Amino acid sequence: MESVLVLTHAALSDDNSAESGSPLARASLEAVTAGMELAARLSASLTIGILAVDAAMAAKTLPTAGARLLAVCGEAFAQPRYATDAAALEALCRAANPTIVLAPGSSRFTRVAAGVAHRLGGFVDTHITSLGDSDAVEASRWFYRQRVEAVVSRDVRPWFLLLDAGTHKAFAGEAGAAQVEQVAVELPALRTTVSGLRAPAKDAQTIRPDAKLLLVAGAGWTKKQADGQVHAAEAGELILGFLCLAGASLGSSKSLVDQGGEGNSVLPFLTHLNQIGQTGATPRHAKGLSTCCHGEEPHVVGWRFIGDRRAISLDPNCGWTRGKADVVYVADAFAVMSKVNALLETNKV
Protein backbone atom coordinates (compact mmCIF):
# COMPACT_ATOMS: atom_id res chain seq x y z
CA MET A 1 0.00 0.00 0.00
CA GLU A 2 1.28 3.45 -0.91
CA SER A 3 1.86 6.25 1.58
CA VAL A 4 2.13 9.83 0.35
CA LEU A 5 4.28 12.58 1.82
CA VAL A 6 3.90 16.14 0.55
CA LEU A 7 6.90 18.34 1.25
CA THR A 8 6.14 22.04 1.64
CA HIS A 9 8.00 25.18 2.55
CA ALA A 10 7.08 28.65 3.69
CA ALA A 11 6.85 31.50 1.23
CA LEU A 12 9.70 33.91 0.85
CA SER A 13 8.86 37.32 2.13
CA ASP A 14 8.74 40.26 -0.23
CA ASP A 15 11.42 42.14 1.64
CA ASN A 16 14.10 40.35 -0.35
CA SER A 17 15.86 39.22 2.77
CA ALA A 18 14.65 36.06 4.37
CA GLU A 19 11.88 33.63 4.92
CA SER A 20 9.53 35.22 7.40
CA GLY A 21 7.64 32.24 8.75
CA SER A 22 4.66 33.34 6.72
CA PRO A 23 2.16 30.81 5.33
CA LEU A 24 3.20 28.27 2.77
CA ALA A 25 4.38 29.17 -0.70
CA ARG A 26 1.76 28.90 -3.42
CA ALA A 27 3.64 26.08 -5.16
CA SER A 28 3.61 24.17 -1.87
CA LEU A 29 -0.16 24.58 -1.57
CA GLU A 30 -0.50 23.24 -5.11
CA ALA A 31 1.49 20.19 -4.05
CA VAL A 32 -0.86 19.74 -1.09
CA THR A 33 -3.81 19.59 -3.50
CA ALA A 34 -1.96 17.05 -5.66
CA GLY A 35 -1.14 14.99 -2.58
CA MET A 36 -4.72 14.98 -1.33
CA GLU A 37 -6.00 13.90 -4.75
CA LEU A 38 -3.38 11.19 -5.11
CA ALA A 39 -3.84 9.83 -1.59
CA ALA A 40 -7.60 9.68 -2.06
CA ARG A 41 -7.25 7.90 -5.39
CA LEU A 42 -4.78 5.34 -4.05
CA SER A 43 -6.48 5.01 -0.64
CA ALA A 44 -3.10 5.92 0.77
CA SER A 45 -2.16 7.65 3.99
CA LEU A 46 -1.21 11.32 3.65
CA THR A 47 1.45 13.21 5.54
CA ILE A 48 2.47 16.81 4.99
CA GLY A 49 6.01 17.82 5.85
CA ILE A 50 6.67 21.50 6.55
CA LEU A 51 9.95 23.36 6.36
CA ALA A 52 9.69 26.80 7.94
CA VAL A 53 11.00 29.09 10.62
CA ASP A 54 7.67 28.94 12.41
CA ALA A 55 5.89 25.66 11.68
CA ALA A 56 2.68 26.50 13.54
CA MET A 57 2.26 29.65 11.51
CA ALA A 58 3.05 27.86 8.26
CA ALA A 59 0.60 25.06 9.08
CA LYS A 60 -2.30 27.28 10.03
CA THR A 61 -4.30 26.54 6.86
CA LEU A 62 -3.56 22.81 6.86
CA PRO A 63 -5.79 21.34 9.61
CA THR A 64 -8.57 20.70 7.08
CA ALA A 65 -6.26 18.79 4.73
CA GLY A 66 -6.86 15.63 6.72
CA ALA A 67 -3.18 14.80 6.91
CA ARG A 68 -0.60 14.05 9.55
CA LEU A 69 1.58 17.14 9.89
CA LEU A 70 5.32 16.95 10.45
CA ALA A 71 7.62 19.95 10.64
CA VAL A 72 11.24 20.93 10.76
CA CYS A 73 11.54 24.48 11.96
CA GLY A 74 13.99 27.02 13.27
CA GLU A 75 16.16 29.92 12.17
CA ALA A 76 18.57 27.58 10.38
CA PHE A 77 15.83 27.02 7.83
CA ALA A 78 15.01 30.65 7.22
CA GLN A 79 17.13 30.62 4.08
CA PRO A 80 17.17 28.10 1.26
CA ARG A 81 20.53 26.33 1.39
CA TYR A 82 21.50 22.87 0.23
CA ALA A 83 23.08 21.56 3.42
CA THR A 84 20.28 22.60 5.78
CA ASP A 85 17.36 21.93 3.43
CA ALA A 86 18.65 18.49 2.45
CA ALA A 87 19.10 17.56 6.11
CA ALA A 88 15.61 18.81 6.94
CA LEU A 89 13.88 17.02 4.09
CA GLU A 90 15.82 13.84 4.83
CA ALA A 91 14.60 13.98 8.43
CA LEU A 92 10.99 14.58 7.35
CA CYS A 93 11.13 11.67 4.92
CA ARG A 94 12.65 9.33 7.49
CA ALA A 95 9.96 10.31 9.99
CA ALA A 96 7.13 9.75 7.51
CA ASN A 97 8.64 6.75 5.71
CA PRO A 98 6.60 7.33 2.53
CA THR A 99 6.56 5.42 -0.73
CA ILE A 100 5.60 8.50 -2.76
CA VAL A 101 6.99 11.97 -2.07
CA LEU A 102 5.42 14.98 -3.76
CA ALA A 103 7.11 18.35 -3.64
CA PRO A 104 6.76 21.67 -5.43
CA GLY A 105 9.27 22.28 -8.20
CA SER A 106 10.35 25.52 -6.54
CA SER A 107 13.95 26.66 -6.72
CA ARG A 108 14.28 25.71 -3.05
CA PHE A 109 13.22 22.09 -3.40
CA THR A 110 14.59 21.61 -6.90
CA ARG A 111 18.02 22.35 -5.45
CA VAL A 112 17.85 19.48 -2.95
CA ALA A 113 15.22 16.89 -3.90
CA ALA A 114 17.50 14.63 -5.89
CA GLY A 115 20.10 14.61 -3.15
CA VAL A 116 17.49 13.71 -0.57
CA ALA A 117 16.10 10.94 -2.78
CA HIS A 118 19.60 9.53 -3.11
CA ARG A 119 20.14 9.59 0.66
CA LEU A 120 16.95 7.57 1.11
CA GLY A 121 17.81 5.09 -1.62
CA GLY A 122 14.98 6.48 -3.70
CA PHE A 123 14.56 7.98 -7.14
CA VAL A 124 13.36 11.31 -8.40
CA ASP A 125 11.55 12.66 -11.43
CA THR A 126 11.01 16.37 -11.90
CA HIS A 127 8.89 18.83 -13.90
CA ILE A 128 5.81 16.66 -13.42
CA THR A 129 2.75 18.26 -15.00
CA SER A 130 0.09 15.69 -14.05
CA LEU A 131 -0.28 12.51 -12.03
CA GLY A 132 -2.74 10.60 -14.18
CA ASP A 133 -6.10 9.29 -13.04
CA SER A 134 -5.62 5.54 -12.83
CA ASP A 135 -5.17 3.48 -9.67
CA ALA A 136 -1.39 3.47 -10.23
CA VAL A 137 1.08 6.32 -9.93
CA GLU A 138 1.78 7.67 -13.40
CA ALA A 139 3.49 10.97 -14.03
CA SER A 140 3.54 13.13 -17.15
CA ARG A 141 6.54 15.23 -17.97
CA TRP A 142 8.22 16.85 -20.95
CA PHE A 143 11.50 15.96 -22.59
CA TYR A 144 13.69 17.91 -25.01
CA ARG A 145 12.56 21.23 -23.61
CA GLN A 146 8.82 20.75 -23.98
CA ARG A 147 9.02 19.15 -27.42
CA VAL A 148 8.25 15.54 -26.44
CA GLU A 149 5.70 14.52 -23.81
CA ALA A 150 5.89 11.23 -21.92
CA VAL A 151 4.09 9.38 -19.17
CA VAL A 152 6.43 7.54 -16.82
CA SER A 153 6.12 5.16 -13.93
CA ARG A 154 8.60 3.56 -11.56
CA ASP A 155 8.48 0.28 -9.68
CA VAL A 156 11.00 1.40 -7.08
CA ARG A 157 10.23 3.32 -3.91
CA PRO A 158 10.48 5.86 -2.48
CA TRP A 159 9.69 7.81 -5.60
CA PHE A 160 10.07 11.57 -5.43
CA LEU A 161 7.99 13.65 -7.83
CA LEU A 162 8.57 17.39 -8.21
CA LEU A 163 5.49 19.15 -9.54
CA ASP A 164 5.71 22.09 -11.91
CA ALA A 165 4.07 25.23 -10.62
CA GLY A 166 0.64 26.02 -11.98
CA THR A 167 -0.35 22.42 -12.65
CA HIS A 168 -2.68 22.05 -9.66
CA LYS A 169 -5.03 24.33 -7.77
CA ALA A 170 -3.57 25.78 -4.61
CA PHE A 171 -5.05 24.24 -1.47
CA ALA A 172 -7.16 26.77 0.40
CA GLY A 173 -8.01 25.47 3.85
CA GLU A 174 -9.61 27.40 6.65
CA ALA A 175 -7.21 28.68 9.24
CA GLY A 176 -7.14 26.90 12.54
CA ALA A 177 -4.91 25.40 15.19
CA ALA A 178 -2.86 22.60 13.70
CA GLN A 179 -1.36 19.62 15.50
CA VAL A 180 2.18 19.62 14.21
CA GLU A 181 4.75 17.00 15.16
CA GLN A 182 8.25 18.46 15.36
CA VAL A 183 11.05 16.48 13.75
CA ALA A 184 14.59 16.93 15.04
CA VAL A 185 17.43 17.49 12.59
CA GLU A 186 21.13 17.08 13.05
CA LEU A 187 22.76 19.74 10.89
CA PRO A 188 26.14 19.31 9.24
CA ALA A 189 28.84 21.95 9.54
CA LEU A 190 27.67 24.89 7.45
CA ARG A 191 30.04 26.37 4.88
CA THR A 192 27.51 28.48 3.00
CA THR A 193 25.92 31.70 4.16
CA VAL A 194 22.90 33.04 2.32
CA SER A 195 22.85 36.80 2.31
CA GLY A 196 19.46 37.31 0.62
CA LEU A 197 17.99 38.02 -2.75
CA ARG A 198 19.19 40.38 -5.43
CA ALA A 199 16.51 41.80 -7.67
CA PRO A 200 16.14 44.71 -10.03
CA ALA A 201 14.57 47.83 -8.51
CA LYS A 202 10.83 47.35 -8.10
CA ASP A 203 9.95 49.53 -11.09
CA ALA A 204 12.65 47.86 -13.20
CA GLN A 205 11.49 44.30 -12.57
CA THR A 206 10.21 43.03 -15.88
CA ILE A 207 9.63 39.38 -14.93
CA ARG A 208 6.23 38.93 -13.31
CA PRO A 209 5.30 35.26 -12.97
CA ASP A 210 1.77 36.07 -11.80
CA ALA A 211 0.93 38.32 -14.78
CA LYS A 212 -1.89 37.22 -17.08
CA LEU A 213 0.00 38.36 -20.16
CA LEU A 214 3.49 37.60 -21.42
CA LEU A 215 4.99 40.06 -23.90
CA VAL A 216 7.87 38.63 -25.86
CA ALA A 217 10.31 40.91 -27.63
CA GLY A 218 12.29 39.50 -30.52
CA ALA A 219 15.43 40.65 -32.25
CA GLY A 220 13.45 42.67 -34.78
CA TRP A 221 13.10 45.50 -32.29
CA THR A 222 16.76 46.37 -32.66
CA LYS A 223 17.07 45.81 -36.40
CA LYS A 224 17.08 48.63 -38.96
CA GLN A 225 13.57 49.93 -39.57
CA ALA A 226 11.94 51.26 -42.73
CA ASP A 227 13.95 54.51 -42.53
CA GLY A 228 17.22 52.58 -42.51
CA GLN A 229 17.91 53.46 -38.88
CA VAL A 230 17.93 51.46 -35.65
CA HIS A 231 15.44 52.70 -33.05
CA ALA A 232 16.50 50.77 -29.96
CA ALA A 233 15.69 53.58 -27.54
CA GLU A 234 12.19 53.96 -28.93
CA ALA A 235 11.74 50.19 -28.81
CA GLY A 236 12.72 50.19 -25.16
CA GLU A 237 10.23 52.94 -24.34
CA LEU A 238 7.40 51.15 -26.16
CA ILE A 239 8.11 47.83 -24.47
CA LEU A 240 8.50 49.25 -20.96
CA GLY A 241 5.45 51.43 -21.48
CA PHE A 242 3.38 48.42 -22.46
CA LEU A 243 4.62 46.38 -19.49
CA CYS A 244 3.62 49.18 -17.15
CA LEU A 245 0.21 49.80 -18.69
CA ALA A 246 -0.78 46.16 -19.21
CA GLY A 247 0.89 44.71 -16.11
CA ALA A 248 2.59 42.17 -18.36
CA SER A 249 5.69 40.08 -17.86
CA LEU A 250 8.54 40.40 -20.35
CA GLY A 251 10.17 37.57 -22.21
CA SER A 252 12.75 37.71 -24.94
CA SER A 253 14.16 35.60 -27.71
CA LYS A 254 17.73 34.36 -27.24
CA SER A 255 18.95 36.33 -30.22
CA LEU A 256 17.85 39.64 -28.72
CA VAL A 257 19.44 38.92 -25.34
CA ASP A 258 22.64 37.76 -27.01
CA GLN A 259 22.97 41.00 -28.96
CA GLY A 260 24.19 42.68 -25.78
CA GLY A 261 27.30 40.53 -25.85
CA GLU A 262 27.93 41.21 -29.51
CA GLY A 263 28.23 44.96 -29.28
CA ASN A 264 24.93 45.69 -31.02
CA SER A 265 22.13 48.00 -29.99
CA VAL A 266 20.47 46.46 -26.98
CA LEU A 267 17.51 46.92 -24.72
CA PRO A 268 19.29 47.54 -21.42
CA PHE A 269 16.58 46.05 -19.22
CA LEU A 270 16.85 42.62 -20.86
CA THR A 271 18.92 39.87 -19.28
CA HIS A 272 19.21 36.13 -19.80
CA LEU A 273 16.55 35.77 -17.10
CA ASN A 274 14.04 37.12 -19.64
CA GLN A 275 14.99 34.49 -22.20
CA ILE A 276 12.18 32.20 -23.33
CA GLY A 277 12.69 28.98 -25.26
CA GLN A 278 15.14 26.18 -25.79
CA THR A 279 17.79 27.65 -23.52
CA GLY A 280 15.50 29.85 -21.48
CA ALA A 281 12.37 29.69 -19.42
CA THR A 282 8.99 28.11 -20.10
CA PRO A 283 6.66 30.39 -18.14
CA ARG A 284 2.95 29.92 -17.52
CA HIS A 285 0.65 32.78 -18.50
CA ALA A 286 -2.93 32.88 -19.76
CA LYS A 287 -2.00 34.97 -22.81
CA GLY A 288 1.11 35.71 -24.81
CA LEU A 289 1.89 38.45 -27.32
CA SER A 290 4.98 38.02 -29.47
CA THR A 291 6.52 41.02 -31.18
CA CYS A 292 9.32 41.12 -33.76
CA CYS A 293 10.13 37.45 -33.27
CA HIS A 294 10.31 34.87 -36.04
CA GLY A 295 8.53 32.16 -34.04
CA GLU A 296 10.82 29.26 -34.88
CA GLU A 297 10.67 26.05 -32.88
CA PRO A 298 13.59 26.58 -30.45
CA HIS A 299 11.90 29.76 -29.28
CA VAL A 300 8.31 28.53 -29.38
CA VAL A 301 9.02 25.54 -27.09
CA GLY A 302 9.16 28.16 -24.35
CA TRP A 303 5.51 28.98 -25.13
CA ARG A 304 4.26 25.47 -24.34
CA PHE A 305 2.29 26.68 -21.33
CA ILE A 306 0.99 29.95 -22.81
CA GLY A 307 -2.76 29.69 -23.40
CA ASP A 308 -3.95 32.26 -25.94
CA ARG A 309 -1.19 33.33 -28.33
CA ARG A 310 -0.97 36.33 -30.65
CA ALA A 311 1.96 37.67 -32.63
CA ILE A 312 2.90 40.81 -34.51
CA SER A 313 5.36 40.22 -37.33
CA LEU A 314 6.27 41.84 -40.62
CA ASP A 315 6.88 38.41 -42.11
CA PRO A 316 3.64 36.78 -43.31
CA ASN A 317 5.46 33.43 -43.45
CA CYS A 318 7.00 33.54 -39.99
CA GLY A 319 6.86 30.50 -37.71
CA TRP A 320 3.88 31.85 -35.80
CA THR A 321 1.65 31.54 -38.87
CA ARG A 322 2.32 27.79 -39.05
CA GLY A 323 -0.06 26.75 -36.31
CA LYS A 324 1.94 28.18 -33.42
CA ALA A 325 -0.19 31.23 -32.68
CA ASP A 326 -3.92 31.81 -32.66
CA VAL A 327 -3.70 35.18 -34.39
CA VAL A 328 -0.81 36.73 -36.33
CA TYR A 329 -0.92 40.39 -37.30
CA VAL A 330 1.29 41.15 -40.28
CA ALA A 331 2.26 44.67 -39.30
CA ASP A 332 4.98 46.94 -37.97
CA ALA A 333 5.25 46.33 -34.21
CA PHE A 334 6.50 49.90 -33.65
CA ALA A 335 3.34 51.35 -35.14
CA VAL A 336 0.99 48.88 -33.49
CA MET A 337 2.50 48.98 -30.01
CA SER A 338 2.56 52.77 -29.90
CA LYS A 339 -1.18 52.73 -30.70
CA VAL A 340 -1.78 49.98 -28.14
CA ASN A 341 0.01 51.99 -25.46
CA ALA A 342 -1.99 55.10 -26.34
CA LEU A 343 -5.25 53.17 -26.05
CA LEU A 344 -4.25 51.56 -22.76
CA GLU A 345 -3.29 54.98 -21.43
CA THR A 346 -6.66 56.39 -22.49
CA ASN A 347 -8.54 53.47 -20.95
CA LYS A 348 -6.62 53.95 -17.70
CA VAL A 349 -7.87 57.50 -17.47
* Chain residues 64-83 in contact with other proteins, contact rule CB under 8 A: 80-83
Residue among 57 and 194 whose Cβ is closer to other proteins: 194
Asked if 130 is part of the footprint of other proteins (rule: CB under 8 A), the reply reads no
The helix or strand, by DSSP H or E, that contains position 176, with its residue range, turns out to be none
Please give the residues from 167 up to 186 whose contact with other proteins meets the rule CB under 8 A.
none
Q: Which of 22, 45, 110, 255 binds other proteins (CB under 8 A)?
A: 110
Cα-based distances in Å from 70 to 55, 179, 273: 9, 9, 35
The interface region with other proteins, picked from 36-44, 94-102, 168-176, 201-209 by CB under 8 A, is 201-209
State in angstroms the smallest separation of the CB of 69 from other proteins. 25
Count of CB atoms situated within 10 Å of the CB of 107: 10
Asked if 258 is part of the footprint of other proteins (rule: CB under 8 A), the reply reads yes
Residue among 47 and 282 whose Cβ is closer to other proteins: 282
Number of residues that bind other proteins (CB under 8 A): 100
Count of CB atoms situated within 10 Å of the CB of 121: 9
Q: Which of 28, 34, 50, 127 binds other proteins (CB under 8 A)?
A: 127
State in angstroms the smallest separation of the CB of 260 from other proteins. 9
Please give the residues from 265 up to 304 whose contact with other proteins meets the rule CB under 8 A.
272-275, 278-280, 287, 289, 297-298, 304
Asked if 41 is part of the footprint of other proteins (rule: CB under 8 A), the reply reads no
State in angstroms the smallest separation of the CB of 6 from other proteins. 19
Asked if 129 is part of the footprint of other proteins (rule: CB under 8 A), the reply reads no
Asked if 153 is part of the footprint of other proteins (rule: CB under 8 A), the reply reads yes
196 CB burial (10 A radius; 0-12, 13-18, 19+): exposed
What's the CA gap between 85 and 188, in Å, rounded?
A: 11
Residue among 41 and 154 whose Cβ is closer to other proteins: 154
What's the CA gap between 2 and 191, in Å, rounded?
A: 37
Look at strands 3-12 and 19-24 and give their pairing.
antiparallel
What's the CA gap between 307 and 287, in Å, rounded?
A: 5
State in angstroms the smallest separation of the CB of 150 from other proteins. 4
Helix axes 333-348, 232-246, angle to 10 degrees: 40
Q: Which of 56, 152, 230, 244 binds other proteins (CB under 8 A)?
A: 152
φ/ψ of 9, rounded to 5, equals -140, 160
Residue among 61 and 274 whose Cβ is closer to other proteins: 274
Residue type, 110: T
What's the CA gap between 185 and 105, in Å, rounded?
A: 23
Asked if 233 is part of the footprint of other proteins (rule: CB under 8 A), the reply reads no
